[in-house]
Structure 1
Amino acid sequence: MAVRLYEGKDHAEAYLQFRVAPQELIGVIVRYMEKRTKTFRLAVDVGCGSGQGTTLLAPFFAEVVGTDISPAQLEQVSADGGPSNVSYRQCPAEELPFGSGAVDLVTAMTAAHWFDRERFLQEADRVLRPGGCLALLSYTMDMELEYGDVSEALNDICNEFYAALFPYRNPHIGSSSVKIYADMFDSCPYPDKEWNECLRIKRTVPLSGYVGMVETFSSYQVLKDKDPAEAERLSSHFRNKLLAAMKTSSPDTEVTMVVKYFYWLARKP
């Protein structure tokens, strides 16, 4: 893996608690595959973190394996082990422990931007069987909030929050992760492939859940490592601004969080 992050225990626990599991996109992936294959033996979720997305694949495949380079993330996998056909392995994204042509689906959910992209695509091609599928998805950092008639005001505040964190963004992903995925899509040689710029996924969460998710961003974690007091001050400042705009004092007040996913799908010839 080109960049190692999410390896602290606290960060891994927050990731498990606040990140959104993309149930809707699992359906998109499965429907794409169903039009092209009847083989659903082995799915591999690369950069799986604590397995929120990995377990969603379990109903559709005989076996699902989540891989991640971070022991702290894998330690957060559900204590009960989750579905019986799901397992996890620690390894780099560019060195997958599967034989050539053994895998029906390789996916990476909000992770591929951290990989050595060229090596990862080569490794995905190696392990995929002919007719197997590659599915890469992520979301932009400009999540929106909906709440009564003050949604626009809330999103102005959210954008201020994102702007304050932007200087701490990891240079590996540059100013836009969308471009990273678009470049990977362009470099994928498979003729059967699809790109989707935006799928809006909505979740009802307490306001504290939205703030908690922003705090899992790598940019916030960089600030937190550099200046913990400033990170806490910044987070509290924007939480209080949001509460004031909502005319409530409780961070447990529910809002609708809109996460804007983008993704691409490809079938190996």
Structure 2
Amino acid sequence: MAQANNPPENVSYSQAPSEKLPFASGEVDLLTAMTAAHWFDREKFLVEADRVLRPGGCLALLSYTMDMELEYEDKSEALNSICKEFYAALLPFRDPYLGPSSRKIYMDMFESCSYPDKEWIESFHLKKPLPLDSYIGMVQTFSSYQKLLKKDPAAAKRLSDDIRNKLLSAMTVSSPETEVTVVVKYFYWLACKP
């Protein structure tokens, strides 16, 4: 899909495992992954990252917590109570490897990185105005929702519809295109190869 959008000449795309990247040794200035590193083989990935990064190259791994919040007029508290219902309903479908949060996996990877110049950022909140339906769509991308969808598509649809309807009711609006502010809580770590 990316290649079909006529990328600039200096942009190319490839697909490869994180533990076997298609780059020469010392060729990469910045190696980053967003909400993916928790699935990597930590030891193999760190060796591979070290191989492809040039001296002075940076590694940036980030993710977000599952507990996004919503802001809307004076109704944020009620909305976030409903959001918590959504997340709680999905928790039984979360991969046991991840536990209740993938934060520990990222912290373990951070601690395993041998670079002396590194930094852990515990919490960075990003606020983004989105239609309510886009928030629902974001949660539907969670692996726990996808697991529920695969197991029982009707139950997944009922859950999404129920949460959407509760949120609309709490907002006292009828359109799922009504804009809310989604607060995403990121955590990340950065490291610079000596």
Shorter-normalised TM range = over 0.9
| Structure 1 consecutive aligned stretches of length 4 or more whose deviation exceeds 3 Å | none
Question: Which of 189, 196, 201 is the equivalent residue of 2:114?
Answer: 189
Distance 1:249-1:78 versus aligned 2 partners, 3 A rule:
farther
Identical columns (%): 71
TM-score by length of 1: 0.70
Number of paired residues?
194
1:137 to 2:69 alignment: no
**What is the aligned partner in structure 1 of residue 140 from structure 2?**
215
The gaps in structure 1 that reach 5 residues or longer are 1-74
Cα displacement string for residues 98-139 of structure 1 (whole angstroms, at most 9, x for unaligned residues): 111111111111110111111111100111111111111111
**What is the aligned partner in structure 2 of residue 148 from structure 1?**
73
**What is the aligned partner in structure 2 of residue 122 from structure 1?**
47
Q: Is this contact kept in 2: 1:114–1:172, CA < 8 A?
A: no
Q: How does 1:1-269 map to 2 (within 5 A)?
A: 75=1, 77=2, 79-269=4-194
Q: In structure 1, what is the Cα distance between the partners aligned to 2:129 and 2:61? A: 25
**What is the aligned partner in structure 2 of residue 30 from structure 1?**
none
**What is the aligned partner in structure 2 of residue 22 from structure 1?**
none
Distance 1:156-1:181 versus aligned 2 partners, 3 A rule:
same
Q: In structure 1, what is the Cα distance between the partners aligned to 2:92 and 2:22? A: 37
Q: In structure 1, what is the Cα distance between the partners aligned to 2:3 and 2:20? A: 25
Q: In structure 2, what is the Cα distance between the partners aligned to 1:82 and 1:258? A: 31
The secondary structure found in structure 2 opposite 1:242 is helix
The secondary structure found in structure 2 opposite 1:172 is coil
User: Higher RCO, 1 or 2 (CA under 8 Å, sep at least 6)?
Assistant: 2
TM-score by length of 2: 0.96
The secondary structure found in structure 2 opposite 1:158 is helix
State which drifts further: 225-234 or 98-107: 98-107
Cα displacement string for residues 57-96 of structure 1 (whole angstroms, at most 9, x for unaligned residues): xxxxxxxxxxxxxxxxxx3x26323343221111111100
The secondary structure found in structure 1 opposite 2:4 is coil
